[in-house]
Structure formats: structure tokens, C-alpha cells
Amino acid sequence: MRAFALLSALAFAAHAEDATAPEAEALRAMDAFMAAFNARDVEAWIATLNFPHVRIASGQVAVFRDAAEFRNNFEFARFAEQTGWSRSEWTERRVIQAGPDKVHVAVVFTRFREDGSVLARYESLYVVTQQGGHWGVQARSSYAP
């Protein structure tokens, strides 16, 4: 009986580690996403994505087939000028579904102005996937403009 309990505990622990591994990988990918975004490093930001990449926001669905298409459709300088944005940070992140190669994360992120004041907060849903061993943000649905 004691051996059975020990084996059961070990099996449960192994399963728990497997169950949380995709969540941890997804959150690491999201941390890299935010770090690259705040560094205004488009190449590093692209490296945190999986393609095709989808963004649903402002009543539109944008689908970027590859890195080149994504690169050609975003400019940090223009974004900052149009919005007053200086940096962003995750305010809340909650994994709501996770499988071995896809994780859904409900988030709230905050945008800040140069002086550190809050520009806005937005709720979003991020879909982070594993493609060929690479964890990256594949889709974002946001209430941000």
C-alpha cells in the first residue's frame, strides 16, 4: 500500500510538471514579447511570434503570413507618436487554457507615457503556440486600438 501511494505521488508530480511546462514556456515567450516591444526592437519582437500571426483589434482582423509582412506593417516611432506611448507592461496574466502546444492567456496590459503616467489599460487574449520547438505569440485579441 505504501509503495502504491509513493508511485501514485510520483506519477501525479510528473503529470503536474508536464501540465505546467507549456504554461511556463508561454509566459516566457510573452515576457520576451514585452521586452522586445519596449526595446522597440522589431527583429527581436518578430522572434517572439509564430506565423501566421493574427491580431484582432479596433474592429479589424489582421493576418500576417510571415515575418516580412509583419515587419512592413509596424513602425515603433509612428506608433509612439500617434498614441503617446513610451512603454508597456503586463498588469495581469492568467492562463485560462493550456495544452501541450497551445496556451490561452487572459491579460491586462498597461501603456505608459514617457513621464510614467498611465496612458491606458487594455484587456486582451493571447494565444501562444509551439511550432517546431519554438514558443511564440500566434494570436492576440485586444481592446486596444
Structural domain of residue 124, as residue ranges? 2-142
Checking if the pLDDT of 68 tops 70, the result is yes
Domain tally, the chain: 1
CATH number for the domain harbouring residue 83: 3.10.450.50
Residues in Cβ contact with 72 at an 8 Å cutoff, skipping those fewer than 6 apart = none
Q: For residue range 3-22, what is the model confidence (pLDDT) as tens digits?
A: 433 333 333 334 344 447 99
b/e per residue, 45-78, with b = 16+ CB within 10 A? bbebbbbebebbeeeeeeebeeeeebeeeeeeee
- 123: cell is 484587456
User: Helix, strand, or coil here: 46?
Assistant: helix
Average pLDDT over every residue of 92-115 = 97
pTM of the model: 0.83
Bin 127: left if φ > 0, else alpha if -120 < ψ < 50, else beta: beta
Q: Which three cell numbers stand for residue 8?
A: 501514485
- Give me the sign of the Cα torsion angle 44, 49, 54, 57: negative
pLDDT tens-digit map of 113-126: 999 999 999 999 99
Whole-number Å distance between alpha carbons of 83 and 85:
5
